[in-house]
Amino acid sequence: MENIKSVLITGANAGLGRECARQLALTSTIEKVYLGCRSREKAEAALTALVADTGRNIFEIVLLDVMDPGSVRTAVSNMKAPVDAVILNAGGTGGRHPTALTPQGVMNIYAVNVQGHVVLIDEMLNRQLITSTVLYAGSEAARGIPKMGVARPALKDASVNEFLNIAVGRTFTAKSDPMDAYASVKLTAALWMSSMARKNPYLRFVTVSPGGTTGTNGFDDMPFLKKLMFKHIGGVLMPLFGMMHSVETGAKRYVDVLTNTKFKSGGFYASKEGSPTGKIVDQFPMFAALANEEFQDNANQAVHQLV
């Protein structure tokens, strides 16, 4: 496991984050799992359940809200020791109004999926609080899922300004399909991660999609029809057609990539083309923009202009 003994997971009180914490605790080499959560009440409930489920009292709560950069900075300032790995799992639509702007001037959907995690990693790197791996929860949406009505993000020139426009709401409006905004935001994050891998060669930065996962709460605030399709109807029918899998399977992708160095730093691993489930593969051959180092660095520059 590349000597990974301690892991911090954002969005750890439910869904993929909590299941990942459970699976990691069942791995004997893991000695500490930090549960990054914004609600102490929900975090304590998750911790109690995880101890009961795993028989191991190795969990510790870290209060942080990735929608609030100040909260993230405070959480890092309170950390007493480095962690070996960070799993950037928190995400979703960012509330009922994905394209509305936060007090920091970025879309809610961008804040929850990108900005908070950029702040977290920068602050931790500045204090030398990561020793091994950063794992980002990507999405097949970043290269498009036509079978689910999610188009490939259409980059015009992949300039710094284009990535800034995505983040600050110039590309999308309240009338835009939230999944289009989500796809572009997830693409921005995957590019940022690849750039960070080259700029920090002593650490491993890997993007992996948990895939189409049933029972997650990241899309609870989507418009009614979208929520009905993705969370309820989709959660029942899509697994029958191989378009969704369980939370356990999605979280296992995190654990497998975290613990296996064959998944290279700077890479983006997700399902095969046209599908959000099945074996995970390198995404670069499917979408040339993902492997473009200029695009990666432009995304990195843009996200850092906004923190």
Residue 187 amino acid letter: L
- Structural domain includes residue 254: yes
Taking the C-alpha atoms of residue 126 and residue 116, their distance in angstroms, rounded to an integer, is: 15
Report phi then psi at 207, rounded to 5.
-100, 130
- Structural domain includes residue 26: yes
- Structural domain includes residue 201: yes
State the residue range of the domain holding 172: 6-305
Q: How many domains is the chain built from?
A: 1
Min mean pLDDT across 17-26, 77-86, 92-101, 184-193 is at: 92-101
- pLDDT per residue over 68-118, tens digit each? 999 999 999 999 999 999 999 999 999 989 999 999 999 999 999 999 999
Name the token pair of 173: 């409006």
Q: What is the DSSP string of 210-231?
A: --SBTT-STTTTS-HHHHIIII
Residue 224 confidence (pLDDT) above 80: no
pLDDT band at 214 (very low <50, low <70, confident <90, very high): confident
CATH of the domain at 294: 3.40.50.720
State pTM to two decimals: 0.92
- Structural domain includes residue 1: no
- Structural domain includes residue 126: yes
- pLDDT per residue over 235-254, tens digit each? 555 554 456 899 999 999 99
Burial environment of residue 242 by CB neighbours within 10 A (0 to 12, 13 to 18, 19 or more): middle
Express as a percent the part of the chain with pLDDT over 70.
Answer: 90
Residue 5 confidence (pLDDT) above 90: yes
Residue 189 amino acid letter: A
Report phi then psi at 27, rounded to 5.
-95, 120
* Rg from Cα positions in the chain: 18
- Structural domain includes residue 53: yes
pLDDT of residue 148: 79
Report which of 38, 56, 50 is spatially closest to residue 120, judged by C-alpha positions.
38
- Structural domain includes residue 240: yes
